[in-house]
Chain A
């Protein structure tokens, strides 16, 4: 990322690129195929889905739009635990990602020196192995008679987490802890990369200035570094929370029937139960909930020009 060779700048550009007007229709021709693709295969399906969610009928007789909004009510009242679980797991994973990812992003940005590119590659490298294979590796790491469970057991941490309901029966696999651990692992790079991007932009002289003004390292971090890295925190949080809330892979591979998330329900309803209206309603609720949360979150943290 940092190794992109840049052409030497000629001189400071006089003004911000004046959009040229050459061929009135050129932009539309350039946009047409891609935008059509998104309209047909992204936007239109959302509308189809909304319409499916208010249909009634059966697979054999076909479905008709009957404005049957009760599907939403039924879906929510049967699956609210999975919804809550999704939000809770995704939020926990996001917080963990922030706590784990920040030191690493900081390390790459300020302390890595000539190791920077190597560490950067190591952060991205896991992406090159299929994430399903890597998630399955957690089954080995967290195995019941493996070293991790042994250590946690002998430190009596497992009895604490058992008591909190995060684990059960002195094992980690097939418990909420395993699912959150898998989610954290899977989406950690999505936290680290935006954090790094915003940390790297910070002028190092600001740190010196804070030090000159007798700020202790931690004060410097709290008053200078962290506020300046807020754009990274915001986009990292979104990039972690959104996919984690919709994920069903970790819950399926590392969890049990007690850790099913809303993604599992949508998948099962769509691909196994074939109850399309319920599945569509659930998916619509998930989408609406996430869009609402995202809008609220961006408003609150005040970085509206995120994109």
Chain B
């Protein structure tokens, strides 16, 4: 009876942890199979333990090139989307102007549109204009779909800001530029950082829109896609695992620093 009661009380916890397992299982597989030594061209079946791929992460033709291309695009797309998105977010929160509703829907729609639709229509535009598909068309597309996410992230932060902080700065004879740089920007920074991180992750991992608008340029997701047809090198798993570890360490480090700062303030 007590066991049944315990089960009843903790059913949610068990179900939740099961879901967490479902979410994490593929990452476990990716990590384990980065130590595999596959027999054929595909890395789907476990054969034997080997650290070959970790020793030669760039041992596959074209992979590291595609990785560095993806990183470059992600960095530029993040910068572009963060600058444009932050400007829009400030305008939306701080000013009254015409056509606010239309602008809000223009920002919401890209998030509510299936990627295929945006990808296909953007390709129609580029084809009609006779644009050369490649680095710049990918970058244009990435800035476009990251923009809305940055606006949303920054807007949330700026909205929760107390406007009186800026008024106080002005009362203390700070000019508009000084107020913005010394008061507004530091307070909005976490929102801007969140938006930038989101943009980076979205751009780096984007496949569908990139696949339509890349021409013969190959980004890392496109390399993985191609390898699913030609044969999956173990190095893909090495990159996947390494990215996972770096990101988790990064998040943990930022949490530890955040906690320490919080404690200093208290």
Contact = CB atoms under 8 A, between A and B. Distances in A.
Contacts of A93: none
Consensus secondary structure, chain A interface: helix
Interface in A3-32: 3-5, 7, 9-10, 13, 17-22, 26-28, 30-31
Interface residues of A, number: 96
A46 interface: yes
Contacts of A283: 116-117, 120-121
Contacts of B228: 132, 136, 253
A267 B116 contact: yes
B124 A52 contact: yes
Consensus secondary structure, chain B interface: helix
Contacts of B165: 7, 10
B116 A107 contact: no
Contact of A20 (B94, B159, B239): B94
Given A42-B106, A253-B228, A263-B114, A129 B16 contact: no
A160 to B, nearest CB: 21
10 contacts: A7-B187, A13-B162, A34-B88, A42-B118, A105-B16, A122-B23, A125-B27, A140-B45, A266-B116, A283-B121
Contacts of B199: none
Interface range for B: 35 or more
Contact of A111 (B12, B24, B246): B12
A134 B240 contact: yes
A42 B93 CA distance: 23
B176 interface: yes
A100 B22 CA distance: 9
A222 B237 CA distance: 43
Contacts of B108: 307
Most buried by B among A121, A125, A135, A188: A125
A180 interface: no
A22 B176 contact: yes
B195 interface: no
A4 B117 CA distance: 35
A253 B25 CA distance: 18
B57 interface: no
B114 to A, nearest CB: 2
Contacts of A140: 29, 33, 44-45
A28 B95 CA distance: 9
Contacts of A266: 116, 120
B125 A104 contact: no
B128 A48 contact: yes
B20 interface: yes
Given A26-B95, A132-B207, A132-B228, A38 B114 contact: no
B143 interface: yes
A166 interface: no
Interface string A258-279: 0000110011001100001001
A185 B90 contact: no
A58 B111 CA distance: 33
A19 to B, nearest CB: 4
Contacts of A192: 19
Most buried by A among B13, B237, B243: B13
Contacts of B232: 136
A33 B84 CA distance: 7
A37 B116 contact: no
B91 A141 contact: no
A39 interface: yes
B144 interface: yes
